[in-house]
């Protein structure tokens, strides 16, 4: 029977994720085409060159004392002042819009990220960030991303150039809407696309991927852990923490030394679910991120910092709010979940109780828990702030630093949660005020997954701990004829993975582990066609297809491709792609795992017009699986004809989709004050609601950004939800 690792998700995750590049909370879409020049300044700005020798020694890990802090520096910051008023060019766009564009280049950068200040976008405006050469796009960012601080940090964009595109109605042309104040030059390769990082800054080989089967008992705790990109230049680890009010306040606990200044929380990007889908160091997709937080409490001498995220993580981030134990009891064993070297999530295990210790003379005496020796894994640069969990998955501390390396996994130090609780009476220097707002006095609070009663989705893979990944060649008579998972001259045109999930699942997307893409000519425009088939034993009936450009997929990492519509396969089904439009001399292949005969075969392929099972087609008696992961949902509560209650009032909304105006009709009398409209982040949205009759309302979303919204009708006895699509 195939093994499935089940991870909680919700459809909102899919709806928030652009097809190419990383996904911060944004509205999706593509940059507008712009034509006639309106005005021009310097449209391309080159950053000064950077001494590579100085960069290679710029990390604290080479020059710190033996007992060292463990943040991970990956970028060099340029202080700048670029605005639409002093830089770039203005162009005429579509539908009465103006478009401002500025391209920033920094030679040799592996990625670039920006810090904005005075970021205050008006309604109906959009900001995109992209690298045309890399087909990498972030956005659209809109007024939803405005923060009270006026600051806005963005995730890195692959490559050594970044274009900022600002789209604004001509009527709003006047005014100051943002400044770019920092350009951060990545000299390590934090996105890790295209192979190993140039300075070999990946997690040590002794580290253990968090999704290995043996760590299943710690599984849900990992969903509380996030990677932090602080002020665009440094990586640490943080943990989402529950509080006694259990009100879903998104507090992130980390190390004080990760935030050199109190306000650095405002320019930190918090990345959730950055992990390999199985027990192998295959780079994950850094899809789920939130920009900005407000510092609530920070104390250097105990090295803790508590910040509140600018947004509650949406259901698609599958957030888990970690519990905590502030008692003086020492845990029998512990694990730390963290991002060493900024890499995918890892787990480190100590089978013995920690001891109370001091970190150094600069810190509070006996304010730390000391791990004498790790049994499995270690912490590294980037692990700072990583949570230390007890066997009940409750937080007991966060990492400050230490001496541990793969060669000598000893002497790591974690701030003591119990001491940080109320060692200082000032609320800005303690945890108690924030994490026990109801003044319960409890010593132990369990973690909570607030979305667990929603109708959730899951990420499924056929992979297990025995699987590895590689690009597997086809050898015919000792002659190389291509790849089992891609380009070949052996007549293989389709590559499929077989899945079987109980229930009435709805597929929302698939992630491929892309192993190779070589483009022979710059002008080549190769494509694959994503396909989903029904079928008992082989693919039979095609139920979905979608064309994807191979240039939009990054080799060496997992790549998520969202489906444009809900796909309902039922029973056994097959997900994969067709190779029909790979250009001559281009080469494309996905990762696969060769398996012994005792393992299940899930790889099927189409060769010369016929379908084959790999197990029956090779002479070595081996089996194979593709490195694929699917997102499968049963999202009845979000469809337009099924509510959140067992015996619903009949509610219809039509037309749906619509270009802004909808009619809501119910099976009983309703009034406009019973209805509200929310966006995908759970934020209430301005909408014009009018009474058309005792059981009929008019909804108008004019002025909002096109996208998916939820209409909620509160009858007093029940709340009924409907999904609507506002299309431009």
Q: What is the pLDDT of residues 538-547, one digit of tens each?
A: 999 999 999 9
SS3 456: coil
* Mean pLDDT taken over the chain: 85
Q: Which two tokens stand for residue 211?
A: 């999704």
pLDDT of residue 281: 79
- Return the CATH number at 346: 2.40.10.10
695-704: per-residue pLDDT in tens? 899 999 888 7
Residues 487 and 597 in one domain: yes
How many Cα atoms within 13 Å fall on the side-chain side of residue 213? 9
Task: Specify the pLDDT at position 37.
Answer: 63
Judgement on whether residues 622 and 660 belong to the same structural domain of the protein: no
Q: Is 134 left (phi over 0), alpha (psi -120 to 50) or beta?
A: alpha
Q: From residue 524, how far is each of 131, 137, 389, 567 by CA, in Å?
A: 18, 20, 50, 31
CATH of the domain at 708: 2.60.40.10
697 within a domain of the structure (yes/no): yes
**195 within domain boundaries:** no
The verdict on 537 and 590 lying in the same domain is yes
Task: Establish if 71 belongs to a structural domain.
Answer: yes
Residues 476 and 612 reside in one and the same domain: yes
| Mean pLDDT, rounded, for 375-402 | 96
**Do 387 and 482 share a domain, yes or no?**
no
Tens digits of residue pLDDT in 346-386:
999 999 999 999 999 999 999 999 999 999 999 999 999 99
pLDDT for res 8 = 30
Q: Are residues 136 and 254 in the same domain?
A: no
Domain assignment of residue 13, yes or no: no
Query: Are both 328 and 380 inside the same structural domain?
Result: yes
- pLDDT at position 708 over 60: yes
pLDDT digits (tens, 9 = 90+) for 551-572: 888 888 888 888 888 888 878 8
| Candidate from 290-299, 414-423, 643-652 with smallest mean pLDDT | 643-652
CA distance 575 to 508: 12
Residues 6 or more apart whose Cβ sits within 8 Å of residue 641: 652
Determine the pLDDT at residue 356. Answer: 98
Same domain for 648 and 626 = no
For the segment 486-513, the average pLDDT, to the nearest whole number, is 88
Which pLDDT belongs to residue 707? 65
**Residue 16 counted as domain residue:** no
177 domain-assigned: yes
Asked if residue 666 and residue 612 are part of one domain, the reply reads no
CATH number at residue 558: 2.60.120
What pLDDT sits at residue 605?
98
pLDDT class of 195 with cuts at 50, 70, 90: low
Q: Residue 454: what pLDDT? A: 38
Q: Which of 583, 601, 633 is the last residue of a domain?
A: 633
CB atoms within 10 A of CB 580: 11
Look up the domain containing 62 and give its range: 31-186
Task: Give pLDDT tens digits for 423-462.
Answer: 999 999 999 999 999 999 999 999 998 865 334 556 688 9
pLDDT recorded at residue 354: 98
pLDDT, tens digit (0-9, with 9 covering 90-100), for 605-627: 999 999 999 998 876 779 999 99
pLDDT for position 648: 39
Q: Report the number of distinct structural domains present in the chain.
A: 4
> What's residue 631's pLDDT?
77
Is 538 in the same domain as 680? no
| 502 in the same domain as 424 | no
pLDDT at 319: 87
* Length in residues, the chain: 728
pLDDT of 274-317, one tens digit each? 988 888 878 887 778 999 999 999 999 999 999 999 999 887 68
pLDDT over 90 percentage in the chain: 55
Nearest to 251 by CA among 335, 311, 191: 311
Band of pLDDT at residue 6, cut at 50, 70 and 90: very low
Considering 58-62, 465-469, 543-547, 616-620, the range whose residues carry the highest mean pLDDT is 543-547
Percent of the chain past pLDDT 70, that is, above it, reads: 84
Q: Report if residue 506 sits inside a domain.
A: yes
pLDDT of amino acid 56: 59
Range with lowest mean pLDDT among 59-63, 586-590, 641-645:
641-645
Report the range out of 9-13, 145-149, 574-578 with the highest average pLDDT. Answer: 574-578
Please work out, in degrees rounded to the nearest 5, the angle formed at the alpha carbon of residue 400 by the alpha carbons of 397 and 405. 110
Beta-strand runs (E) in 93-206? 97-105, 111-117, 126-131, 136-141, 152-153, 157-158, 161-169, 179-186
Q: Is the pLDDT assigned to residue 58 strictly greater than 70?
A: no
Q: Phi and psi for 85 in degrees, rounded to 5?
A: -85, -25
Q: What is the mean pLDDT of residues 74-89?
A: 95
Q: Are 427 and 508 within one domain? A: no
Query: How big is the CA angle at 522 (ends 521 and 523), to the nearest 5 degrees?
Result: 90
Average pLDDT of the segment spanning 41-70: 67
Last residue of a domain, one of 388, 414, 445: 445
Q: Is residue 102 part of a domain?
A: yes
- Give 3-state DSSP helix, strand, coil % of the chain, rounded to 5: 10, 45, 45
Domain final position from 571, 603, 633: 633
């Amino acid at each position: 029977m195939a093994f499935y690792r089940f991870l909680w998700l919700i459809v909102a995750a899919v709806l928030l994720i652009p097809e190419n590049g990383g996904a911060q909370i944004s509205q999706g879409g593509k940059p507008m085409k712009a034509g006639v020049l309106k005005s021009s300044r310097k449209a391309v700005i080159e950053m000064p060159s950077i001494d590579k020798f100085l960069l290679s020694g710029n990390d604290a890990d080479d020059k710190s004392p033996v007992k060292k802090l463990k943040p991970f520096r990956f970028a060099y910051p340029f202080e700048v002042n670029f605005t639409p008023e002093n830089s770039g060019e203005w162009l005429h766009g579509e539908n009465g819009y103006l478009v401002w564009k500025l391209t920033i280049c920094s030679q040799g950068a592996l990625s670039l990220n920006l810090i904005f200040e005075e970021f205050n976008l008006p309604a109906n405006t959009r900001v995109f960030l992209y690298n045309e050469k890399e087909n990498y796009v972030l956005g659209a960012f809109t007024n939803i991303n405005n923060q009270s601080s006026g600051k806005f940090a963005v995730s890195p964009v692959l490559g050594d150039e970044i274009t900022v595109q600002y789209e604004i109605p001509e009527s709003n042309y006047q005014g100051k809407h943002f400044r770019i104040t920092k350009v951060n030059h990545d000299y390590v390769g934090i996105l890790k696309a295209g192979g190993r990082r140039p300075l070999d800054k990946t997690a040590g080989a002794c580290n253990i991927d968090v999704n290995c089967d043996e760590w299943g008992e710690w599984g849900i705790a990992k969903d509380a852990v996030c990677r932090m990109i602080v002020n665009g230049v440094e990586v640490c680890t943080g943990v989402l923490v529950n509080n006694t009010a259990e009100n879903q306040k998104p507090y992130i606990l980390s190390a004080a030394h990760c935030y050199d200044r109190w306000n650095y929380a405002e320019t930190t990007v918090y990345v959730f679910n950055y992990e390999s889908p199985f027990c192998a160091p295959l780079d994950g997709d850094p899809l789920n991120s939130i920009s900005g937080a407000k510092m609530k409490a920070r104390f250097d001498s105990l090295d803790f910092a508590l910040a509140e995220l600018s947004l509650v993580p949406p259901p698609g981030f599958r957030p888990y709010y970690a519990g905590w134990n502030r008692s003086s009891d020492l845990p029998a064993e512990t694990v730390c979940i963290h991002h060493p070297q900024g890499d995918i999530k890892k787990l480190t295990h100590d089978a013995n109780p920690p001891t109370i210790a001091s970190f150094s003379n600069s810190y509070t005496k006996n304010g730390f828990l000391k791990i004498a020796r790790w049994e499995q894994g270690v912490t590294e640069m980037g692990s700072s702030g990583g949570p230390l969990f007890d066997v009940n998955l409750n937080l007991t501390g966060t990492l400050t630093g230490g001496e541990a390396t793969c060669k000598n996994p000893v002497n790591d130090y974690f701030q003591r949660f119990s001491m940080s609780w109320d060692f200082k009476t000032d609320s800005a220097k303690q945890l108690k005020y924030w994490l026990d707002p109801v003044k319960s006095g409890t010593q132990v609070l369990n973690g909570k997954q607030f979305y667990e009663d929603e109708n959730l989705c899951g990420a499924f893979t056929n992979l297990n701990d025995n699987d590895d990944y590689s690009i597997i060649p086809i050898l015919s008579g000792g002659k190389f004829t291509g790849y089992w998972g891609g380009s070949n001259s052996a007549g293989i045109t389709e590559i499929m993975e077989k899945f079987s999930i109980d229930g009435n699942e709805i597929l929302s997307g698939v992630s491929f582990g892309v192993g190779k893409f070589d483009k022979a000519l710059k002008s080549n425009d190769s494509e694959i066609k994503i396909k989903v088939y029904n079928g008992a034993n082989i693919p039979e009936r095609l139920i979905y297809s979608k064309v994807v450009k191979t240039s939009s997929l990054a080799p060496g990492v997992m790549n998520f491709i969202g489906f444009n519509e809900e796909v309902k396969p039922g029973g056994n089904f097959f997900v994969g792609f067709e190779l029909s439009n790979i250009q001559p001399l281009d080469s494309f292949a996905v990762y696969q795992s060769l398996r012994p005969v005792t393992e299940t075969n899930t790889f099927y392929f189409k060769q010369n017009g016929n379908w084959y099972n790999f197990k029956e087609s090779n002479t070595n008696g081996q089996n194979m699986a593709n490195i694929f992961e699917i997102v499968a949902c049963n999202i009845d509560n979000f469809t337009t004809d099924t509510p959140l209650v067992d015996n619903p009032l009949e509610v219809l909304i039509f037309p749906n989709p619509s270009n802004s105006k909808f009619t809501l009709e119910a099976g009983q009398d309703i009034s406009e004050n019973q209805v509200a409209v929310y966006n995908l982040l759970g934020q209430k949205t301005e909408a014009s609601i009018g009474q058309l009759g005792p059981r009929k309302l008019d909804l108008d979303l004019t002025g909002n950004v096109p996208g998916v919204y939820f209409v909620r009708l509160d009858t007093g006895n029940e709340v009924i939800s409907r999904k609507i699509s506002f299309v431009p």
